[in-house]
Amino acid sequence: MVTPLLPLTARHTVAIIGAGISALACAQVLASSGASITLFDKARGPGGRMSSKRRFDTKLDLGAQTFSVRSTEFQSAVDAWLDNGCVATWPTRTYQASSTGWQTLNDGQTRYTGAPSMSALTRYLADSLTTLPHVELYAQTLIASLKRVHNGWQLIDSRGTCYGPYDHVVISAPAPQAYSLVAEWDQTLASACQTREQRACWAGWAIFDRPLPRLTDVDPDWQMARVTHPALRLVSRNQTKPGRDTPQESLSLLAQLDWSEAHLEDAADLIAEQLVAALRSIFPTTVTLPTPIDVGAHRWRYAQPASPGEQIYLYNANGLALCGDSYLTGRVEDAWLSGHRLGEALINRPL
Ligand SMILES: Cc1cc2nc3c(=O)[nH]c(=O)nc-3n(C[C@H](O)[C@H](O)[C@H](O)COP(=O)(O)OP(=O)(O)OC[C@H]3O[C@@H](n4cnc5c(N)ncnc54)[C@H](O)[C@@H]3O)c2cc1C
């Protein structure tokens, strides 16, 4: 499957579809070769499932809330981000919560988050790349198809604009989205995408104009709660994340995956209402939850792989490559490793 390529040099051009953590990790390695790199993302900015949403004066993380580290390779990257200040350790005050009570939760694992919001990390990576003269990023550009031409690959966006040609195209979108781009051109990559099913997840939010009620035997500054409830699996208090200067109570409410899939096509306001009702159910009946001043929900159609995969990345001699968390497990570290190692392979650096 993995065909050795000629080392990438400053003469080469690479297009990267997506600007999430895997794409940015790949671009960072490729940039060291001097090759010209162009990133395309359909969203307004970089980040993908690590992006944050602004509501009023606050920022909500609606995708990954935290990440952990298992490999020394990723730890060195995280250490550099800690030094830079775009990442911090969080949370340290976690609970397991249900309608029958709250217990402290400590599994001994150090977790990290972007500071002051998850998007600070991907923003930092994107900014450091785009200050380089040979790297550019096109936001709000949905790549709709690829075209093989004699000297490489062209990319065509949803408005019909054509980019390229490029020697290599790296696709970092979740596998079902990558499939639609490679299906016409590469049966091996297309089959790999088809085997990687992604699960969906609703992520809700609730913003309050006053603090949540205090609970007996629960630290008033609790930061995150894993929840036992059919609809709700996690509550995260955004204002407790490091580097925040607004104390406004703003919660991210991540839904259970089974529940998300059963309600995938429901309206977002209905989902938000049900997640707030689930939140209410984990507070004792003796306390009153204030009425939120703003609620909403975001549908992640491809939130995480349904099962662990075994390939870190895939590439073919025709210049097409796939990276992202789809091919391992749905973790920030896996996404980063996927992009980073693909970058190393493309510049032919020994691993
Ligand atoms: C609700 C939720 C909770 C999570 N919790 C955790 C957690 O606690 N810990 C953890 O480690 N991980 C968690 N994750 C997983 C983590 O966020 C992902 O593993 C990681 O962010 C994936 O990065 P990626 O670069 O592979 O993909 P993405 O971040 O999805 O990046 C892909 C990018 O491609 C873009 N794109 C797609 N198609 C196109 C196209 N045709 N044209 C242009 N652009 C395109 C998208 O806009 C996106 O920006 C969570 C994810 C979700 C959704």
**What are the extents of the domains in the chain?**
1-64+118-196+310-351, 90-113+198-306
* Integer Cα distance of 257 and 129 in angstroms: 34
pLDDT score for 246: 82
pLDDT > 50? residue 184? yes
pLDDT > 50? residue 4? no
* Integer Cα distance of 349 and 289 in angstroms: 56
User: Quick one: angle between helices 21-31 and 119-130, nearest 10?
Assistant: 30
SS3 (DSSP) at 149: strand
pLDDT > 80? residue 139? yes
* Integer Cα distance of 279 and 260 in angstroms: 16
pLDDT score for 56: 86
What's the 176 CA to ligand 1 centre distance in angstroms?
13
Domain 90-113+198-306: give its CATH architecture.
Alpha-Beta Complex (3.90)
What does the DSSP 8-state code read for residue 68?
-
SS3 (DSSP) at 134: coil
pLDDT > 50? residue 351? no
pLDDT score for 1: 38
Ligand 1 atom index nearest CA of 181: 41
pLDDT score for 6: 58
SS3 (DSSP) at 113: strand
Whether the Cβ atoms of residue 135 and residue 39 lie closer than 8 Å to each other? yes
What does the DSSP 8-state code read for residue 103?
E
Strand-pair partners of 299? 202
pLDDT score for 239: 96
- pLDDT tens string 274-318: 999 999 999 999 999 999 999 999 999 999 999 999 899 999 888
CATH number of the 1-64+118-196+310-351 domain: 3.50.50.60
pTM recorded for the entire structure: 0.96
What's the 62 CA to ligand 1 centre distance in angstroms?
11
CA 228 to chain centre: 24
What's the 48 CA to ligand 1 centre distance in angstroms?
5
pLDDT score for 57: 84
Ligand 1 atom index nearest CA of 300: 53
Whether the Cβ atoms of residue 41 and residue 24 lie closer than 8 Å to each other? no
Around ligand 1, the residues with Cβ closer than 6 Å are 17-23, 40-43, 48-50, 63-67, 142-143, 172-174, 177, 201, 203, 254, 300, 303-304, 324-325, 330-332, 335
CB-based contacts of 63: which residues, under 8 Å, 6+ apart? 47, 48, 49, 50, 51, 118, 203, 300, 303
pLDDT > 50? residue 350? no
Name the residue type at position 164. Answer: G
pLDDT > 90? residue 3? no
Tell me which residue has its CA closest to atom 7 in ligand 1.
64
What's the 284 CA to ligand 1 centre distance in angstroms?
35
Phi, psi of 50 (to 5 degrees): -115, 20
Name the residue type at position 311. Answer: Q
What's the 335 CA to ligand 1 centre distance in angstroms?
8
What's the 220 CA to ligand 1 centre distance in angstroms?
32
Counting ligand 1 atoms within 8 A of each CB, the residue from 26, 42, 49 with the most, and so the one to mutate, is 49
Tell me which residue has its CA closest to atom 52 in ligand 1.
63
Mean pLDDT for the chain?
Answer: 95
What does the DSSP 8-state code read for residue 291?
P
pLDDT score for 5: 53
- pLDDT tens string 208-238: 999 999 999 999 999 999 999 999 999 999 9
- pLDDT tens string 314-345: 998 889 999 999 999 999 999 999 999 999 99
Q: 316, 12, 29: which is closest to 166 by C-alpha?
A: 12
- Structure confidence at residue 10 as a pLDDT band (50, 70, 90): confident
Torsion-angle region of residue 217: left (phi > 0), alpha (psi -120 to 50) or beta?
A: left
What's the 300 CA to ligand 1 centre distance in angstroms?
9
- pLDDT tens string 233-287: 999 999 999 999 888 999 999 999 999 999 999 999 999 999 999 999 999 999 9
* Integer Cα distance of 212 and 249 in angstroms: 7
pLDDT > 50? residue 106? yes
Q: 161, 164, 195, 200: which is closest to 320 by C-alpha?
A: 164
Ligand 1 atom index nearest CA of 49: 29
Ligand 1 atom index nearest CA of 47: 49
